[in-house]
Structure 1
Amino acid sequence: MKVIVFSANTSWYLYNFRRSTIQTFIDLGYKVVCFSPADDYSEKIKELGCIWQPLFMNNKSTNPLKDFMIVLQFIRLFSKYRPAYCFNFTVKNNIYGTWAAKLLRVKAINNVSGLGTAFIHNNMTSKIVKFLYKTSQPFASTVFCQNPDDYDTLLQHNLVPQDKLILLPGSGVDIDMFNPSLRKEKTEKFKFLFAGRILKDKGIIELIEAFNCISQRDFPCSLTLCGFASSDNISAIGEDKILEWERNSNIKWIGSSDDMPNVYALADCVVLPSYREGMPRSLLEAGAMGLPSITTDVPGCRNIIKNQYNGYICRVKDVTDLYNSMLTILKLTDDELLQLSVNSRKHVEQYYNESIVINEAVSAVNK
């Protein structure tokens, strides 16, 4: 039985974003082994029918010398399971997993789900990450990326050879699980939803400021924040700050959820004012649910949302523009909102069905 490895910087990521792909390979008769740090989702991974092995890593560390220990862990685990292929997700796994795969003749299939914080800021960390990509990705068998901007950046900086780079429609979305039929009846109070990690780079500070301005105008609306406050990220926001935001009685933080379809079902509009994305899962899931979204004119986000078609695009880091976009959607008629919803579902069905992504993963193995 051939062995396939899936690795990421959290078990949460593998379970929530790659569960269908993992299940597909199990159904095809592969032995699937997952490498990831231990968290609440590690046991859930094993329940899928695959093996889980802990991977010890500090997601907040930017010291490549300390992170080199990750390579040694990959070498040990590859030696134990002898996989034919390794699907890597997230930056450190893409880099260190590929070096280890090269040494043990494992075919590395990497996924650049977004160039992220390291590419937002032009600093020493950014230079190090680019260097590490440039010295690792030529050893990969295939490198997937999730939006045209990242595709161009990877090529322009010579980070990935063009013959190995493939553009995907994000991680895709299960359009049966996320379905407009699940949505609840609209209430008098309009419900905004932010779904994602509580990070500064997600534009959460600007969102809170914009919403507080709307609250001062006595519009009947609320804002739900759904996501975990991780300390393992340089742009993390502490729980104390989130609790401070909740002093506005119309802002509620519900933490992370294992039932996202039900979370979206209670919303009227998703807001993601991010600084940069790969292909944001929350916008895909919102679209599949028939929800319009407000987001920023940045890579990833602008590839999903078309202004005034399935939502609204605003300028990044611009509280006033975000406020105006939220105000605009609050003033729409029911018919105008319905048209945005219909367009949202149609757009995701046509371009972002997860079956497209799964088929590409299977094709990469069958090369």
Structure 2
Amino acid sequence: MNFRAKDNALHVALVCNTAWAIYTYRRGLLRALTQSGARVSIIAPRDRTFEPLQQMGCECIDLPVASKGTNPLHDLRTLLALFKHYRALKPDVVFHYTIKPNIYGSVAAWLARVPSVAVTTGLGYVFIQKSRAAQVAKRLYRFAFRFPREVWFLNRDDETAFREENLLAHPERARLLHGEGVDLEDFAVTPLPERNEFAFVLIGRLLWDKGVGEYVEAARQLRARYPQARFKLLGPVGVDNPSAITREEVAAWEREGMIEYLGETADVRPYIADADCVVLPSYREGVPRTLMEASAMGRPIVATDVPGCREVVADGENGLLCEARDAASLTAALSRMLDMEPIARAAMAQRGRKKIEKEFDERVVVQRYRDLIQGIAGSTF
């Protein structure tokens, strides 16, 4: 549905370092907004999802963001661009996602006198690494997060980290969102495959921080013992991130016969349906969409015992947890999954669906947005 919102309609802006993330993770929110007649502005670097976002009724604006750069001039350019957009658009409220929009967008919104909300979608390298850049990022967070009306965290570990590091000028503005939810109708249960082979799949941006290296090493260890096992990767390669894996590195694993690279897709559902188990050995997450979607479709999951992942995986109930940065621990968990009786895996998958229905229904998340917008703008969608 493509239409022009009325001039006096509620106007909401969403800002992120990729339009792809807004389209992939917040489609339910966008549908609720546009179908109610609200005006929605997406401000993000231009990518292939601009067209489907525009088809949904959103206005898309290109934004310069150097996601993996630390050049202050580039970041100043991002801040100034956002300030100009906010002055011109005058949205009723703007939501910022990911580190640079959270930091520079929060400052720009305050300068433009536009109410803003910061959504910390996962702390990434800031809390994984001990580098100078990470320390600078923490100082910037401490400064910028005095400006948003609220700061939303997707998991309790991230909120605790911000409080303990004294990064919140107004701790009373912190809110726990508990993930951004999943559409239970879009991600309906599908039966586990009945076949001789057993397919694992890791879905996400191909980053070292996602545990891709440990996954490949686990494949090396397991292929000899379990010839029926297949190890697949699905997601964009060579992305703009300090932890990015190159296409050449993936090609080397393919030549070695360890993994099958499936490319990237706008619709992960057929790939989840074709998997026996979904794996995410990440070093840290917000609340990983991949695991929520896999559980919703009735797939057992294996993930690391880290912030974000342990929000979705109840060890032994709907999946298995292993240690982060530990290929041997991941290998042991995948071996347990391979050795498990099919009826036990099916029961695990069933419990996963029930957990998602109870804790991660997207409709609950959309209602949180409604309530907040009502409080800020005096009207809602």
Q: Which runs of 5+ in 2 are unaligned?
A: 1-8, 376-381
Conserved? CA contact 1:109–1:364, under 8 Å: no
- In structure 2, the partner of 1:273 is 281
1:177-221 residue CA offsets vs partner (Å, 9 max, x unmatched): 11113x463211011010001000000001000011101224311
Match of 1:88 in 2: 96
Report the counterpart of residue 357 of structure 1 in structure 2: 365
Q: Does 1:126 align with 2:134?
A: yes
Q: CA deviation at 1:29?
A: 2.5
1:199 and 2:199 equivalent? no
Q: Does 1:170 align with 2:149?
A: no
Q: Which residue identity is paired with 2:330?
A: L
> Using the alignment, how far apart are the partners of 1:10 and 1:98 within structure 2?
17
Q: Which residue of 2 aligns with 1:240?
A: 248
> Percent of counterpart pairs with the same letter?
33
SS for the counterpart of 1:255 is coil
AA paired with 1:165? A
C-alpha distance in 2, partners of 1:218/1:157? 45
Cα distance in 2 for residues equivalent to 1:35 and 1:330: 44
**2:269 is paired with a residue of what secondary structure?**
helix
Give every structure 1 segment of 4 or more consecutive aligned residues whose post-TM-superposition deviation is greater than 3 Å.
none
Deviation at 1:250, TM superposition (A): 5.7
Corresponding residue for 2:106?
98
**Does 2:69 align with 1:61?**
yes
- How far does residue 162 in structure 1 lie from its aligned partner after superposition? 2.1
- Deviation, 1:231, is 3.5
- The one-letter code of the counterpart of 1:360 is R
Supply the AA of the counterpart residue of 1:267.
A
TM-score normalized with structure 2 length: 0.94
The answer to which of 239-248 and 154-163 deviates more is 154-163
**3-state secondary structure, aligned to 1:277:** coil
Letter in 2 for 1:254: L
Paired AA for residue 173 in structure 1: V
The partner residue of 1:50 within 43, 54, 58 is 58
Superposed, 1:1-367 pairs within 5 Å as: 1-160=9-168, 161-181=170-190, 183=191, 185-249=193-257, 251-367=259-375
Q: 90-99 vs 244-253, which deviates more? A: 244-253
**What are the Cα deviations for residues 286-309 of structure 1, in whole angstroms up to 9, with x where unaligned?**
110111111111111112111111
For 1:172 and 1:230, locate their aligned partners in 2 and report how far apart those are by CA, in whole Å: 27
Q: Residue 46 of structure 1 contacts residue 52 of structure 1 at CA under 8 Å; is this kept in 2? A: yes
Aligned residue identity for 2:20: W
Structure 1, unmatched stretches of 5+, are none
Aligned to 2:262, what secondary structure does the other structure show? strand
- Checking the alignment, whether the CA contact within 8 Å between 1:221 and 1:250 is kept in structure 2 is no
Match of 2:95, SS state, is strand
Q: Counterparts of 1:264 and 1:291 in 2: how far apart (Å)?
A: 8
Tell me if structure 2 keeps the 8 A contact 1:192–1:267: yes
Cα distance in 2, alignment partners of residues 250 and 128 from structure 1:
39
Per-residue deviation, 1:229: 0.8
d(CA) in 1 for partners of 2:323, 2:143: 34
Counterpart AA for 2:53 = I
Counterpart of 2:252, as a letter, is E
Deviation digits for residues 331-356 of structure 1, max 9, x if unmatched? 11111111111111111110011112
Q: Is the 8 A contact 1:3 1:31 kept in 2?
A: yes
Q: CA deviation at 1:248?
A: 4.1
In structure 1, how many angstroms separate the alpha carbons of the residues matched to 2:285 and 2:232? 21
1:186–1:268: 8 Å Cα contact kept in structure 2?
Answer: no
The amino acid of 2:174's aligned partner reads L
- Cα distance in structure 2, aligned partners of 1:331 and 1:146: 33
Separation in structure 1 between the aligned mates of residue 213 and residue 368 of structure 2, nearest angstrom = 37
Q: Deviations over 1:130-165 (max 9, x none)?
A: 111111111101111111100101111222222211
Letter of the 1:146 counterpart = L
Q: Secondary structure at the match of 2:285?
A: coil
Query: Over aligned residue pairs, what C-alpha RMSD do you find?
Result: 1.2
| Rounded Cα–Cα distance in structure 1 between residues aligned with 2:343 and 2:239 | 42
Number of residue-to-residue matches in the alignment = 366
SS at match of 1:236: coil
Q: Distance in 2 between matches of 1:270 and 1:298?
A: 16
For normalisation by structure 1, the TM-score amounts to: 0.97
**How many Å separate the matches in 2 of 1:172 and 1:306?**
17
Letter in 2 for 1:337: R
Write the letter of the residue equivalent to 1:126.
A
